[in-house]
Amino acid sequence: MHRSLPTPAKPADALRRLIHLRWLSCAAMLGVVVLVPWLLDLSLPGRALLPIPAALIAINLLSLVRARRLDELHPFELFLQLAIDLGAWSVFLYFTGGATNPLISLLLPIVAIGAATLSPPFAWTLASLAVAAYSILWDFNEQLDIYDSGLAVHWHLAGMWLTFAVSAGVIVWYVVRMTAAIRSRDQALAEAREARLRSERIVALGNLAAGAAHELGTPLGTMAIVAGELARNPALDDDTRADAELLREQIGHCKAILGNLTLRAGSLRAEGGETLAADIWVTGIIERWRSLRPHVPLAVHCDCGPAAPRVIADTTLEQAIHNLINNGADASPDGLVCEVAVDTEHLRVRVLDRGPGMPDSPLPAATSPEHSGKGLGIGLLLAFGAVERCGGRISFSDRPGGGTIATLTLPLSALSP
Instruction: Write down the mean pLDDT value for the chain.
Output: 78
Backbone angles phi, psi at 339, to 5 degrees: -115, 130
Using pLDDT thresholds of 50, 70 and 90, give the confidence band for residue 8.
very low
- Cα angle vertex 153, ends 141, 137, to 5°? 15
Share of the chain above pLDDT 70, in %: 78
Mean pLDDT across the stretch 281-300? 88
Quote the pLDDT of residue 215.
64
- Indicate the residue type of 139: D
Secondary structure (DSSP) of 213-266: HHHHHHHHHHHHHHHHHHHT-TTS-HHHHHHHHHHHHHHHHHHHHHHTHHHHHH
The yes-or-no verdict on residue 87 having pLDDT over 70 is: yes
CA nearest 32: which of 151, 162, 216, 213? 162
More confident residue, 216 or 137: 137
**162 vs 133, 155, 165, 175, 328, CA distance in Å?**
21, 10, 5, 20, 63
CA nearest 111: which of 134, 92, 130, 90? 130
Quote the pLDDT of residue 272.
45
Mean pLDDT across the stretch 153-165? 71
With 0.85 as the threshold, say if the pTM is over it: no
Q: Rounded to an integer, what distance in angstroms lies between the CA atom of residue 107 and that of residue 85?
A: 9
Residues 90-107: tens digit of each pLDDT = 999 898 888 888 888 888
Residues 6+ apart with CB under 8 A from 93: 99, 101, 103, 104, 137, 141
Residues 25-73: tens digit of each pLDDT = 898 889 888 887 777 767 788 888 899 999 999 999 998 888 887 767 7
Helix H or strand E encompassing 7: none
Quote the pLDDT of residue 52.
93
Cβ atoms of residues 309 and 277 within 8 Å: yes
**93 vs 113, 133, 170, 242, 283, CA distance in Å?**
20, 10, 19, 96, 73
**376 vs 124, 323, 335, CA distance in Å?**
57, 12, 22
Mean pLDDT across the stretch 374-397? 72
CA nearest 270: which of 388, 391, 414? 414
The yes-or-no verdict on residue 6 having pLDDT over 90 is: no
Cα-Cα-Cα-Cα dihedral sign, residues 225, 226, 232, 238: negative
